[in-house]
Chain A
Amino acid sequence: MQNQFKSADGLVEVNLSKQGDSWLYEGQSCQILADGRLQVTTSDGSVHLARAAKVGDVWWVHLSGHTFKLERIEPGANASEEQGGLTAPMPGKVLEVMVEVGQQVSAGATLMILEAMKMEHKIVASEDGIITAINFNAGDQVEQGVTLLDLENDDE
């Protein structure tokens, strides 16, 4: 059985196999307990009890004191590719736009200031490039996930 997940580190393909009650992957095995927890034996032989819950397409996994957020990519769906768009991390209000269309910016430069939860947040350039679009003005309310600005890589 094959699953594809998007984690903080990018896309990962997981090929599961099954042996009796156990599911296997990269030398580790996993069993489902009657109460819905999952018992994992890692490759070094340590045993952990994990908890998993799905919200939307995302599997949240708590394991060994760590919490993971793994977005499952439905088979056949286009894996969403990294685009140059800079999106709003939270619903909020645009306070200030620091750049203009056509402007050359370097990675880390502040492009926009957003206010959310009564605090100011900087939207910074993820890489060197040129601003190709600015989709909001100061004072605009924005929803979470909307593309605030487009940044095109220099090299293209």
Chain B
Amino acid sequence: MANKLSKVLVANRGEIACRILRACNEAGIASVAIYASNDAKSLFVELADEAVQLSGDTIAQTYLDQQQILRIAAATGSDAIHPGFGFLSERADFAQAVGDAGIQWVGPSPAAITKMGDKMTARITMRNAGVPVIPGEEIEEIEEQAALIAIESASHRVGYPLLLKASSGGGGKGMRAVHDPSELISSAQGARREAIAAFGDGRVYIERLLTGSKHVEIQVLADRHGRTIHLGERECSVQRRHQKVFEEAPCATMTDQIRDAMGSAAVAAAQAVDYEGAGTVEFLLAPNGEFFFLEMNTRIQVEHPVTELVTGVDLVREQLRIAAGEPMSCGELMIRGHSIEVRLYAEDATNNFLPAIGKLAVFSPPEGPGVRLDSGVREGDEVTPNYDPMLAKLIVWAPSRPEALQRMRRALDEFVVLGTTTNIRFLRELCDQPEVINGTTDTTTIDRLWPNGWSSNVSQSIQSAALLVASCAEANGLQRRTSSNSNQVTSEGPVSPFTTLKRRFP
């Protein structure tokens, strides 16, 4: 029943669109990008064989407009749609419409998306499949007042601290931690409001907030030939505002025994919904080795590269293979070395991680052994408030965890971005924290390390040297030189012109 793919439409943008378009190119499959007018000059548009502009201004009128995307798929003769992550990737109605149009959906069945996509239904499905879930309660009430009453009543049974989560949620949206009963109602209102704005569904459920736990997730792959396997774990405990910033594989404190148990639970979860393609089953891992199902993401995930680097499996390529009806190509699970990913965000880490905008006047990523950059931007691009502020992912691989951390520090020191505030320095200083070095991070690490917000650790001498550099650059009119030479400078040769040298003289 193999139905080889000839042309894939990528219904996404930015970094993940680039990742998928490159995979199509490598697999010899033609590709189509779709883009909103404000993305006309974006990198992913260049990487596609064909690119079609979406009409409309808002995200709802462009990347979320199912009918328009289906029309473009038909007009371009695309025989598959890859949704990436975010946007329409977990919309069962879209997966259904794609299938109905005779186009292959790169992902699981609409039924599997529905069962896992609604977080409350997923909790119930997993409980029935014998997978442990976090103590908590589903809140079925839809109307605001009734829901608030039900939440209030459930809060007494669940206990504090607790977590309010949007049933349709993801990416930290519509999620609130509540430490005190007095904050419950305003937090519930805020979570509902954010959930309605982001997902059009205000339903929020309650879970016990398990502090001191690690966020560990298992990558699964399932094909139509009867194979459902797991590819080991990723640890993504280090989060700010419930969004991951630092991810690694394997988890530093993982044992073979827990990996086997968690892997089996993840495979059972996938099989419970007849899963197909790549998916991720997320767990909270308590210090005593107990673990609980959090949710299943029925799509490729942002942090998939760390699994790719330690297992040698090209997950996006496998997605395409499975969607074409072929058996997956990977053999037995083998984990080799250690991989770390950090997410480069345009944001001000000194100001509560507020998103930042601006022009990427200089964007000069690190190079050298064991360094991978999955970027959605390039030098000269404008960072706008229209989309998610994640610019790129920096991933390193090394034979051991300490070496991977050393490599990440080196790579972050080489990374130069000027013109937009980014979290590079925050990530760099994160790598020096004892918890990160010892691998004992949990989901509260950032809040505990910097309860009053993060600020950079910079010496007086470097600060005054920066003033000297700016004055010197101003005095010599360097702004004119950099702009007129920018193309020449970036293509100078194997030595990156922006690397920082640290030499010390006795």
- Interface, chain A (partner B; CB < 8 A): 1, 3, 5, 7-8, 12, 14, 16, 23, 25-26, 28-30, 32, 35-38, 40, 42-55, 59-70, 72, 89-92, 95, 115-121, 144
Contact = CB atoms under 8 A, between A and B. Distances in A.
Interface stretch (B36-44, B144-152, B298-306, B495-503): B495-503
B180 to A, nearest CB: 16
B465 A62 contact: no
Contacts of A30: 465, 468-469, 472
> Which interface residue of B190, B198, B354, B467 has the most chain A CB atoms within 10 A?
B467
A70 B467 contact: yes
Contacts of B389: 117
Nearest to B498: A51
A67 B425 contact: yes
Given A32-B478, A62-B362, A23 B425 contact: no
A42 B472 contact: no
20 contacts: A23-B472, A23-B475, A28-B464, A36-B482, A38-B469, A42-B461, A42-B465, A46-B504, A51-B418, A52-B470, A53-B418, A62-B416, A65-B425, A66-B425, A66-B456, A116-B385, A117-B389, A119-B173, A119-B355, A144-B385
A26 B472 CA distance: 13
Contacts of B400: none
A69 B248 CA distance: 31
Contacts of B412: 65
Interface string B358-372: 110110100000000
A38 B425 contact: no
Given A26-B468, A40-B468, A55-B361, 10 more contacts: A1-B475, A8-B350, A46-B505, A60-B361, A61-B473, A63-B465, A66-B458, A72-B470, A90-B355, A95-B193
A70 B385 CA distance: 22
B497 A54 contact: no
B408 interface: no
Contact of B385 (A5, A16, A72, A91): A91
Contact of B473 (A47, A54, A144): A54
A23 B472 CA distance: 7
Contacts of B428: 65
Contacts of B424: 67
> Which interface residue of A12, A14, A32, A65 has the most chain B CB atoms within 10 A?
A65
B471 A25 contact: yes
Interface string B400-443: 00000000000011001111011011001000000000000000
Contacts of A121: 352, 354
B492 interface: yes
Interface residues of B, number: 67
B134 interface: no
Contact of B478 (A25, A54, A66, A116): A54
Interface in B452-506: 456, 458, 461-476, 478-479, 481-482, 485, 489, 492, 497-505
Nearest to A8: B350
Contact of B468 (A16, A37, A44, A69): A16
Given A36-B481, A62-B416, A25 B461 contact: no
Contact of A46 (B471, B473, B502): B502
A90 B385 CA distance: 8
B357 interface: yes
B261 interface: no
> Which interface residue of B413, B464, B485 has the most chain A CB atoms within 10 A?
B464
A68 to B, nearest CB: 4
Contacts of A49: 499-501
Contacts of B492: 35
A14 B468 contact: yes
Q: Which 9 A-B pairs have the closest CB atoms?
A: A54-B479, A60-B418, A59-B470, A53-B361, A52-B473, A68-B466, A25-B468, A53-B418, A3-B471
Nearest to B194: A120
B197 interface: yes
A63 B469 contact: yes
A3 B468 CA distance: 10
A52 B456 CA distance: 19
